[in-house]
Amino acid sequence: MTDTTSNQMWGGRFSAGPDAIMEAINASIGFDKRLAAQDIAGSQAHAAMLAAKDIITDSDARAILEGLEQVLGEINDGSFAFSTRLEDIHMNIEARLKQVIGEPAGRLHTARSRNDQVATDFKLWVRDQFDAFENGLVALIKALLAQATAGFDWVMPGFTHLQTAQPVTWGHHMMAYVEMLGRDHERFSTVSNHANVCPLGSGAIAGSTLPLDRVHVAKALGFVDETGEACLTPNGMDAVADRDLFVEFASACSLCSLHLSRLAEDLILWNSSEFGYLRLSDSFTTGSSLMPQKKNPDCFELIRGKTGRVIGNLSNLLVTIKGLPLTYNRDLQEDKPPVFDS
Ligand code: ARG
């Protein structure tokens, strides 16, 4: 059914609302709700800067900051009602802010567009990812090191062309994977550093005529270099069209998955009765009712299998971006599902 009321956030000159099909394909809230915390942090930094530059009043800024805290609380405790009519996380939050604090909410979007807003939110999200999974990667590297130490003199065949080549040790083999994951660790921290350039202030594409303080916003959001200097995107058109960081992140995820997949493949081969080098524990294998002799290495087959998905996400992203004219095109909304999935 078509709702005849136009969108409350941008529908000023529209007399009819979107068709139900349009509403369904238009909405990204189903996946970009994941950016809620980053969106609110970005809005708070923007509002504080607008007040510091006397573009909005201190009392409006205070109402906005407090209102956003309340909205974040509602999202975190699960009481927030997300709406597909409001398309995305940015408009869902802003509409709720309006219900909570009334008219000052309208001033939050001064000198800002969803184009620089979403670029900022997603960069903040990528920057936080490595912190979230670094411990897991380090634990895996340590587990491989422990294996290498335990088996530093366990002689086994090394292979080329999947044929016995030269005698090596289990330790030598495990250390090869330590090297790969060490490179992954370095790559993820480089990608996290690349996230530290702030797009806010670019507006829709061409900045703003208002006297914004981009340095203030960048510092508040931690978009700084090692010396604490603010890092700002220099070209607004590039800033709203650029998705390099997300491609880099999806690429680092692909390489890391590829290393895990090769490790999984070795373990699958070595666990087979044809090789018989190792026996996997019951808790990480599955059986077959028809063929009771089998103990299947499903955990490693699934790691190998999921790697296909992660590599697919990288090409999904590259293909989505490759033909887009400058600057922002709505196709770019589709950048999030593959990156979140990776
Ligand atoms: N949900 C949109 C996205 O993720 C936000 C930007 C919308 N901008 C626009 N010009 N329609 O890309």
Contact (CB, 8 A) for 126 and 249: yes
What's the pLDDT at 293?
A: 85
Which residue has the CA at smallest separation from atom 12 of ligand 1?
Answer: 333
What's the pLDDT at 1?
A: 42
What's the pLDDT at 5?
A: 61
Contact (CB, 8 A) for 141 and 185: yes
Calculate how far, in angstroms, residue 29's C-alpha sits from the geometric centre of ligand 1.
11
pLDDT band at residue 96 under the 50/70/90 scheme: very high
Write out pLDDT tens, residues 100-119.
999 999 999 999 999 999 99
Write out pLDDT tens, residues 299-318.
999 999 999 999 999 999 99
pLDDT band at residue 6 under the 50/70/90 scheme: low
Calculate how far, in angstroms, residue 199's C-alpha sits from the geometric centre of ligand 1.
14
pLDDT band at residue 83 under the 50/70/90 scheme: very high
- Would you list the DSSP string of 269-312? HHHSTTT-S----GGG-B--SS-TT--B-HHHHHHHHHHHHHHH
pLDDT band at residue 16 under the 50/70/90 scheme: confident
What is the pLDDT of the chain when averaged over all its residues? 96
Measured distance between the N- and C-terminal CA atoms of the chain, rounded to whole angstroms: 35
Q: Which one has a higher pLDDT value, 318 or 2?
A: 318
Helix (H, G, I), strand (E, B) or coil at 318: helix
Write out pLDDT tens, residues 191-209.
999 999 999 999 999 999 9
Q: Which one has a higher pLDDT value, 1 or 124?
A: 124
What's the pLDDT at 294?
A: 85
What's the pLDDT at 12?
A: 74
Q: Which residues form ligand 1's pocket by a CB distance below 6 Å?
A: 28, 32, 88, 114-115, 118, 328, 330, 332-333
What Å distances lie between residue 276 and 49, 260, 268, 271, 292, CA to CA? Answer: 65, 21, 10, 6, 17
Choosing from 328, 333, 334, 335 the residue with most ligand 1 atoms within 8 A of its CB, the one to mutate for a pocket test is 333
The mean pLDDT of 64-89, rounded to a whole number, is 98
Task: State the maximum Cα–Cα separation within the chain, in Å, rounded to a whole number.
Answer: 77
Which two tokens mark 113?
Answer: 């567009």
pLDDT band at residue 15 under the 50/70/90 scheme: confident
Write out pLDDT tens, residues 205-255.
999 999 999 999 999 999 999 999 999 999 999 999 999 999 999 999 999
Calculate how far, in angstroms, residue 105's C-alpha sits from the geometric centre of ligand 1.
20
What's the pLDDT at 4?
A: 52
Q: Is the sign of the CA dihedral 255, 260, 266, 272 positive or negative?
A: negative
**HSE-CB for 197 with a 13 A CA cutoff:** 15
The mean pLDDT of 16-21, rounded to a whole number, is 90
Q: Which one has a higher pLDDT value, 292 or 8?
A: 292
List, by residue number, the catalytic residues.
161, 288
What's the pLDDT at 2?
A: 43
Choosing from 33, 85, 113, 114 the residue with most ligand 1 atoms within 8 A of its CB, the one to mutate for a pocket test is 114
65, pLDDT greater than 50: yes
277, pLDDT greater than 80: yes
Q: Which residues, other chains included, contact 185 with Cβ-Cβ below 8 Å and sequence gap of 6+?
A: 134, 137, 138, 141
Q: What is the rounded CA–CA span in Å between residue 46 and residue 105?
A: 13
